[in-house]
Structure 1
Amino acid sequence: MGAVERVDSCPGVRVSETRQHSARKTVERLLRLQKVTSKLSQALTPDQVAGVIVQQAGPAMGAIDCTIYLMEEQGLRLVRVEGIPAVDLETWGCLPVDAPVPVAEAARLGEPVWVESLASLRERYPFTHDKQLSNQRAWASLPLEVERRVLGVLTLGFERERGFAEEDRDFACLVARQCAQALERAHLYARERELREQAERARAEAEEHRRLLELEHLRLKAVLQQLPQAVILAEAPSGRMMMGNEQVARLNGGPIPGDWNLEEDLVAVSGFHADGRLYEPHEWPLVRALTQGETIRGEVLDVQRQDGSRLSLSVSAGPVKDTEGRVTAAVALLEDITERLRLEKSLRQGEAVFRRIMESDMMGLAFTDKDGVIHEANAAFLALVGYSRQEMERGALQWGVLVPAEGKDAGRRKQIELLARGVLTAFEMELVRGDGRRVPVLTGAAQVEDLERVISFVLDLTDLKRAEGAVRFLATASRVLGQSLEVSDATLQHVAGLASVSVASWCVIDLVTPEGGLRRAAAAHEDPSREPRLWRAWPTPSMHDSGGPLLQALHSGEPLLFHDFRAETWRQVSSGFVPLEQVMEAGEVCSVMVVPLRSHERVLGLVTLGACRPRGCLCPEDLSMGQELAHRLAAALESSRLFLESQRAVRLRDEFLAVASHELKTPLTPLRLQLQGLRRVVESQVNEPVSPERVLRVVRGCESQVRKLAGLVNDLLDVAKLAQGRLPLHLEEVDLRAVARDVLEQLSAEASRVECRVELGDGSPVVGRWDRLRLEQVVTNLLTNALKYGAGRPVHVRVGWENGLAKLSVRDEGIGIAPEHRGRIFGKFERAVSERHYGGLGLGLHITQQIVSALGGSILLESEVGRGSTFTVELPPDA
């Protein structure tokens, strides 16, 4: 009976061992599947998914090599290989779906293909007889299928011949399904990103079209506002006014109502024909153009306004028709000719009135003979062209001398027009003054006294041209500055170049650096050969100098204007001895304007403009142009700064979200695995008690992960409280040394794990009125930081009194902190090294600093790269 009992008990033991082996194998597979799934969940692109599959999925199923084929329109394309030399795959890069090979069969049928040996492969697929393949192998081709769509094929190669058990096939198919789902998710993510980019481009194009339409509308309104005539655009058939410029309001004697229309408002206006008859409503030119499609040109009428005054108008009107010839609107041009008629009446009063005009300084007037010699001119004309009356009387003043060489041909054409018409329409040109400078003028002429003499008028357009040039320059500069949200030195150089060829002879832009100094950002000269000298020689004052005009202008915000910039002025401006010839040519006369760049009381830099003859000198009227340029530069620089800061804030937010999700997930994974393992043990030992030591070990591991998770959550809660400006403190008598000792005991296991020896110096108690929990948090953060970055080396903790302040120092001998990172490591979500290597939310030092500040103390950092860091906390005895 004893022997029988032994025989009967052996199968039970073998069954138990088989079950345990099966359970272990199942656990191992689940762990491998979990690892593959975890890696796949982090892959975002199809290429990344393929990389994870060949690097993780193959080894997870025991394969020695792995390939990924993706389905395309032309067939199957090999995208990733692991474990096979590239030379062995030269003929396998692209395969048609109907190819007689396992890969194509798996894609074609959507079913796995299992090949247990090379002989089996040769027998099933004769196509492979002449292919170089390793002997004694097994293969598996698994379709990557999602919702009956084959996305690709995963091919696994095994080291030797083998059979595929049902659980092996199920596991392989399960891994393939996970890979297929990850690949589909990556395709969807890529498609979503592509659609978002397309939508963004479409939105940008629509916005650009809208902006262009608005710009064209604004241009049309601007053109209408610049016209000297009043313009009315009325809608058909309602007669509602769609658009009108400011001249309409001037003619009306007041603003035009927004709901103005012909039927209601035109009746209230009194208009008179040349013979004195009153205009009927249907006789008005705009009404005829709107209702009858008639075109009226230069119809003269008198209008009596509401205030009783009368105007003489020249009215032209015409219909606006659509493509089918229907009248959709009408436009009317109204020119006030009252003054012109009055002037014509005045001109008829005779020579006395004309002589008075000659003697006035309203415009330059001159009489010229048929040879172009000026025999008579008023003072305004002589002052404009820079000749004296004596020179004119000697016959030295001639139009041939005043007209520049490039204007001779145009002058001859104008002379032909004058001879043909007797009148020369006013036009713009340049005249050469007696001193060689050029002056822009508006001129016109008419023949008098039996065609023997010509009277000409000239109006000085210097100020107008200067203003127009300034407006064009500012508009162009604004367009250049607005081309990008980031204002680079190249953009500033472009603006300086525009200034040097339009409103000045040269331009220099200096910007304040973050360190408080000035740096040269741009310098341009109308003579490119002199630009390097300008870069080098124009002074850049130090921000620490006590005086100097440039520094005073920078600090005061008031512009400077040097009308006559010579050696004396140069010595005032240049703090060092740099010869004036480095900036200006010998004998050159220049004027210089210096305008500070400021934004919201912030000093940004200086912009300097210099004008040299023959361009002309800068005058007080140009200060407004310089200040407007400085304002636009400052606004662009400020916008660029805000843009860069916003980009950095968005980047920090994204980095934090990625790190936070990873850090919060890190303790959950081992917690879940430990609980799952404990559950499997309990389930496998239904009738047997579970070892208390094993349960305690799992519970301690779970408690450790829960503490980590709670610490992360508490850090986030503290940051939220700090952001809201509330950090509650519970003050009591606390021994800082005792707090440090308790924290060291709590972290002793962690110190042992990272092989760090933590030393706490001896000393007497350090008692103060503080918040114990917050002090524990400070010590914990500093010590955890030291253990993390100084792993494997001693950590030194010191507590004591110094100069009436409680002092806590934590020194490690780890990697240290580079100087460029020390200023920001106390910031929110900041770290000096990559989170990939050390983890964490980047909140510990930030929370520590905020707690120390709330307790009235300070925290200092001393560090040297490669030799460790020392954090020192100083607290007053009573917070």
Structure 2
Amino acid sequence: MLEKLVETLLRTAVEHAGGERGLLIVPRGGDLSIQAEATTSGSTVRVRLCETPVSAAALPASVVRYAARTRESVILDDASARNPFSDDEYIGHRRARSVLCLPLVKQGTLVAMLYLENNLAPSVFTPARIAVLQLLASEAAMSLDNSRLYRELQEREAKIRRLVEANIIGVVITDFDGPIIEANDAFLDMVGYSRDDLMAGRLQWTALTPPEWHAATQRGMAQIRATGRCDSYEKEFSRKDGTRVPALVGGAAFEETRTHAVAFVVDLSERRRAEEALQRAHAELAHITRVTTLGELAASIAHEVKQPLAAIIAEADAGRNWLAMPNPRLDVVSEALDAIAKDGQRAADVIQRIRQLATKTEPRKDRVDVNEVIRDVVSLLRAELRRHDVVLTLELEAELPMVLGDRIQLQQVILNLAINAIDAMAPTVDRPRELVIRSGRLGCDHVTIAVQDSGVGIEPDDLDRLFNAFFSTKPGGMGMGLSISRSIVEAHGGRLSATPNAPHGACFYISLPAATPALERDWPK
């Protein structure tokens, strides 16, 4: 359609104006391009469509660029006579006589330019002919612009059609409140419905959305109604078989009424599976690290269990001796039995804590008392602290808010930091070996834990890579403890950091969000 319009325009202009040669020039990406050329041979006008950059070899470039810049017509009755464009290379070389360059302008925008020349005679383009050309130019500008818009619309529709039919992502057309109007095969396969289901009106945008995702979907719809588009967001769709598919959704309105929209849907199933596999691998690595840590503490834990067992044996012997006397002291025997029960419970508690750390379980979401977690870790460290001559100070703030998370994982983090602190103080001989574990509040919505030692400290160059996997300052260390610890803390919505401690040692800080109903609701499934 555009090609026919261009040919008709150029042929008519050349025939009515008396030109020997005519060009239609159009703007192209900040420059000018020749779109068609008309030449005469006797009474015959031949039109050739082309796409050639404007150059001095094809036309008087200074004339054309002046007309394009000023939106003014340029008429040279005799280009061979002295004029403002006499120095133009083309005019001198071709010995042009009559020259006309007429801008085609619509609403102040340059749509095209009509260039005509006649090298046989001067003053060919008379005022009467120019008046006809200007009238023609006005109509041509509108026709060319409309044709351009129509072509761009066709190209845009073709691109959209290719996108929809490529089935790379799901594409849905919906009116929000009613059934889905159209959808490509990618989306239908995603939700497990057929095209017959679609044509029968059995697919509704809201009905495909599980109840807990209604709020996110309604926010997206409201944003489209208000602004014409919505930011991409994650949600799930209910499949026909009752299963669910995770997806990333974005959308835009079709028209000003904003009652219909197109939505683009990306299936996140593969990403979800990859994330779950990564979580399983992380949990397995965390479990291996816990077991390795318990192995390092084996001697200290054995001593911690041996003490109450030795006390049980001693109390049992004493009770038996009292019972063997002619007048048994039953009150003393009862005290011995109480001591046996207490020491037995103490040993059982140690074993239970070891068992919890050694057992591989799924991460849990519970309300956890940080101070209790710290005390559980300390009970496993007592013998290790004595063995390394470390003085422990607990500074635990009372009545802290609960945090939301996995008790065993948090124990693992604190245990790892405490063992690292003990190891860092092993070379220290010129000052007391002091380990301080604090808990407190940070603002009104976070709980903090600090593990501080008086050891060798942290080199400034090591701070940036301290939490990198496989980086370790300990001889023979795997370099996984701090990396896993940070991952655990961040999975709880918190932050783990480290700073040098003045004048000696280092301090590791854990910040965890306090448990709130909103946090429990948004906790990752």
TM-score (norm. length: structure 1): 0.20
TM-score (norm. length: structure 2): 0.32
Q: Which has the higher contact order (CA 8 A, sep 6+)?
A: 2
